[in-house]
Chains A and B, each alone.
Chain A
Amino acid sequence: MPEITRDEVAHLADLARIDLDDAELDHLAPQLNVILDSVASIQGVAGDDVIPTSHPLPLTNVFRDDVVRPCLTPEQALSGAPAVEEQRFSVPRILGDEQ
C-alpha cells in the first residue's frame, strides 16, 4: 500500500475537524504508517465470495410504536451547552464572509 504522507494526514485532520499543529503532524504521519503496515496483512485474505459482516447480530430495522413518551426538558437538553440563547444552542457563525 502507498505511504501516507504528512500532507495527507493534514488533509485527513481537516476532514475530521482537528486542528493539528506541526509537531503533531510530524509525529502522527510516521506512526500511522507503522499502523497501516501492520494492518495491511489483511489484503487478499478474504476472497470476493466472503460476505462482509457489519454487526454480530442478525438485526435489521427495529421499530417501536409511534407513541409519545417522556423526554428531556429544554432545560435538561441545554444543561451542558457552552452557550445558550432564547432556549436554543448558541453557536458561532456558520457561514463565511463571501457566503
Chain B
Amino acid sequence: MSWIEKTAAELADALAAGETTSVELTQAHLDRIGAVDGDVHAFLHVDTEGALAQAQASDERRTAGAAKHALDGVPIAVKDVLTTTGLPTTCGSKILEGWIPPYDATVVARLKAAGLPILGKTNMDEFAMGSSTEHSAYGPTRNPWDLDRIPGGSGGGSAAAVAAFEAPLALGTDTGGSIRQPGAVTGTVGVKPTYGSVSRYGLVALANSLDQVGPVTRTVLDSALLHELIGGHDPLDSTSTTTPVTGLVEAARQGATGDLSGLKVGVIKELAGDGWQAGVMQRFQESVDLLTKLGADVVEVSAPNFVHAMAAYYLILPAEASSNLAKFDAMRYGLRVTPDGDPSAEDVMKATRDAGFGDEVKRRIILGTYALSSGYYDAYYGQAQKIRTLIIEDFNRAYADVDVLVSPTAPTTAFKLGEKLDDPIAMYLNDLATIPANLAGVPGISVPAGLAPEDGLPVGFQILAPILEDARVYRVGAALESALVQQWGGPLVAPEVRK
C-alpha cells in the first residue's frame, strides 16, 4: 500500500517510527495531485515549493528529537476561504483573484506551529455559497466517485482532495453543511465543531452567526486528531468559547472498540420522507440497525420546527452575507474595475462588484439586502430569528431524552454537474439535514454509510450532539465506521482515481 492511501494517524506513526520522512510523504501527495488533479480540480493553488520546504524543516526537527506535534510532517490542504500569508486566498471569487493576505488565519497558524506542510488551497463555491462547488469562479471540482458529478459544496475541493488521496487531511468550513454534505457525497468524513470552539480569525466570513471551521478527512480518528489541533480559545476571535472541547481523540479510539451500550440515539423523524432517495434511506436504516447491534438504545424523536429550518437559514444567511460582503469595495484590496469617464468611488464600487461577483453571490446579496430593508425586516429576518429559537428548543427537548441525534447527511447522492445550477431552490434542498445544526450551534459529523444500491454512490450518516459535546459525535462516528469497514472488508475507495 502506498503512502497516499494511509490515514493521517498511520502517517504520524510511520514518521514517529522513522519509516518515512515528511519530504517523502509530501512529495507522494504532490505527485498524486500532479497525476489526478487535472481531472478532479480540487486545488486552486498548489504550493509545491513551500510544502517541500516545510516538510524538510519537519524532518530536521524530527531528526533532532524536536517534533512539535504527533502530526508534525503530515501534509494538509486548506480551503481557500482561510487566509494564508504568501499563498493566494480567493474564496473561489474573481474579486479576490491574486490576493495574498498579509496574515494567517489562526487555524492556519496552528497548522504551521505544529509543523504540517500545507499542500495548497482547495476549491469552493464562491464565498462558500453553494452545495456543489459549481459556483467557483475558477471552474467546478469533480467528484472522484464519478467525474461527471458534483463533489458537494461549498467545500467540494477539500472533500475531493481527501477522497482522491491528494491529501490525507484538509480544513473546511461549515455554514449550512459545507463540510458535512461534501463528506457525504464523496464518501469521506467531515466534522462541524460546536459553534465558537474553533477560531474563525482569518476565515473570510459568510454568515458570522453560522460559520465554523472543521476537519475533512477519510477517517473519524483523523478528524479527531486535526480537530484537537485546531480547536481551543483564540483571543483574536471575540466569538471564541473559553470552554475547551477535549477528549476527542480518546472518544474516537474508545468508539472504535464498538461498544455503545448505554447510549441513547434519536432518529429525527422530520429528516426523511418525500424527496429522500430510497438508497440513501436504506443505507441510513442499516446504519441505525448497526448502532442497535452495538448496544445503543434507538428511539424516534420529533423536531417539529426543523421543517422551517431551510427557510429561516435562507433569510439569515443572505442577510449576514450581504453585510459581510460589503467590505469588497475595490478600495483597499482585491479587484478594482474603473469605468470610463470620470467615475466616482461609488461608480467604481458598483462596476467592480458586478464584474467580481458571480450569479449566486449577487442573488444572495440582493436577497439579504431585501430581507434587511425597512418594511420587510420583521416579516423576514425577525421571523427567521424566532424560528432559530424554536429550532434550538427542539434540540433541547430532544437532548433531554437522547445523547445524540442521527439522520442521513444529505437527501440524495451526488447529482450531475449542471443539473441544479440554475434552480436555486433545488440546490438549497441539499442542505436540508445539515442546516439545523448551524442554526443551533451544535456539533455534527458525517460518516460514510456505504453506497446507494441504485447508483453506487456514497451515502453519509449524520450524528449530532449537544453544544460542547463534540466528543460524542466522535465516539458514535468511530463505532459506526469501525463496524461498517469490517462489514465491507475495507474502507470505501473512489473508483475514478484508483486507476
Q: How far is the CA of A1 from the CA of B376 in the complex (A)?
A: 10
Contact B241 A57 (CB under 8 A): yes
Q: Residue A81 contacts which of B308, B332, B348, B379 (CB distance < 8 angstroms)?
A: B332
Size category, B interface: 35 or more
List chain A residues, Cβ under 8 A from B346: 17, 94
B305 within 8 A of A: yes
Beta-carbon contact of A35 and B439 below 8 Å:
no
Are A54 and B425 CB-contacts (below 8 A) given A89-B332, A94-B344?
no
Residues of A within 8 A of B276 (CB): none
Residue from the list A15, A18, A39, A79 in contact with B311, Cβ < 8 A? A39
Of A1, A8, A18, which one neighbours B365 at CB under 8 angstroms?
Answer: A18
Assuming the contacts A16-B365, A18-B357, asked whether A43 and B383 have C-beta atoms less than 8 A apart, the reply is yes
* Chain B hits for A82, CB < 8 A: 330-331, 333-336
Bound complex: CA A42 to CA B307 (Å): 10
| B192 at interface, CB cutoff 8 A | no
Measured between beta carbons, the chain A residues less than 8 angstroms from B326 are 16-17
Contact of A13 among B333, B348, B351, B366 (CB under 8 A): B366
Interface size class of A (residues with CB under 8 A): 35 or more
Interchain CB contact under 8 A, A39 and B348: no
Q: Is B238's beta carbon under 8 Å from chain A? A: yes
Task: Determine which of B100, B349, B383 lies in contact with A80 in the assembled complex, contact meaning CB atoms within 8 Å.
Answer: B100
Interface centre among A19, A40, A62 (most CB of B within 10 A): A19
Contact B390 A80 (CB under 8 A): no
From B136-144, B263-271, B367-375, B406-414, the one touching the partner chain is B367-375
CB-CB contacts of A1-19 with B at 8 A, as 1s and 0s?
Answer: 1001000110011111111
Which of B326, B342, B380, B382 has the most chain A CB atoms closer than 10 A to its own CB?
A: B380
Contact between B365 and A56, CB atoms less than 8 A apart: no
Q: Evaluate contact between A9 and B385: CB separation under 8 angstroms.
A: no
Which chain A residues lie closer than 8 Å to B353 at the CB level?
16-19
A57 to B8, CA, bound (A): 32
Docked Cα-Cα span, A8 to B370, in Å, equals 9
Which residues of A are found within 8 Å of B43, using beta-carbon distances? Answer: none
Asked if A45 lies at the interface with its beta carbon under 8 angstroms from chain B, I say yes
Least CB distance, B328 to chain A, in whole angstroms = 10
On chain B, the residues within 8 Å of A52 by CB distance are 382, 385-386, 388-389
**Chain B hits for A62, CB < 8 A:** 238-239
What is the bound-complex CA distance between A65 and B332, given in angstroms? 29
Q: Digit string of B420-458 for contact with A (CB within 8 Å is 1, else 0)?
A: 000011001000000000011100000000000000000
Q: Is B387 an interface residue (CB 8 A)?
A: yes
Assuming the contacts A17-B353, A18-B354, asked whether A42 and B311 have C-beta atoms less than 8 A apart, the reply is: yes
- A53 on interface, CB distance cutoff 8 Å: yes
Contacting residues, chain A, for B441 (C-beta < 8 A): 56-57
Asked if B333 and A81 make an inter-chain contact with CB atoms under 8 angstroms apart, the answer reads yes
Let me know if B275 is at the binding interface, CB within 8 A. no
B345 CB-CB contact with A under 8 Å: yes
Q: Give chain A interface residues in 65-98, CB to chain B under 8 Å.
A: 72, 76-77, 79-83, 89, 91-96
CB-CB contacts of B173-217 with A at 8 A, as 1s and 0s?
000000000000000000000011000000000000100000000
Q: How distant is the Cα of A43 from the Cα of B366 in the complex, in angstroms? A: 20
B467 interfacial by beta-carbon distance below 8 Å: yes
Chain B residues whose C-beta falls within 8 Å of the C-beta of A31 in the assembled complex: 363, 424
* Contact call B351/A19, Cβ cutoff below 8 A: yes
A45 touches B322 (CB 8 A): no
B350 CB → nearest A CB, Å? 4
The answer to the question of B253 belonging to the interface, with a C-beta cut-off of 8 Å to chain A, is no
Binary contact track B7-31/A, C-beta < 8 Å → 1, others 0: 0000000000000000000000000
Residues on the B chain within 8 Å of A76, using CB: 102-103
For residue A81, which residues in chain B have a CB less than 8 angstroms away from its CB? Answer: 331-333
Q: Using Cβ atoms and an 8 Å threshold, which residues of chain A touch B388? A: 52-53
Nearest-neighbour CB distance to chain A for B98, whole angstroms, equals 9
With A35-B424, A45-B387 as contacts: A79 and B366 at CB distance below 8 Å: no
Give 16 CB contacts A-B under 8 Å.
Answer: A9-B366, A12-B370, A19-B351, A35-B425, A38-B311, A39-B311, A42-B308, A42-B387, A43-B379, A51-B386, A52-B388, A53-B386, A54-B385, A62-B238, A64-B235, A92-B344
A residues with a Cβ closer than 8 A to B are: 1, 4, 8-9, 12-21, 24, 28, 31-32, 34-36, 38-43, 45-46, 50-57, 59, 62, 64, 72, 76-77, 79-83, 89, 91-96
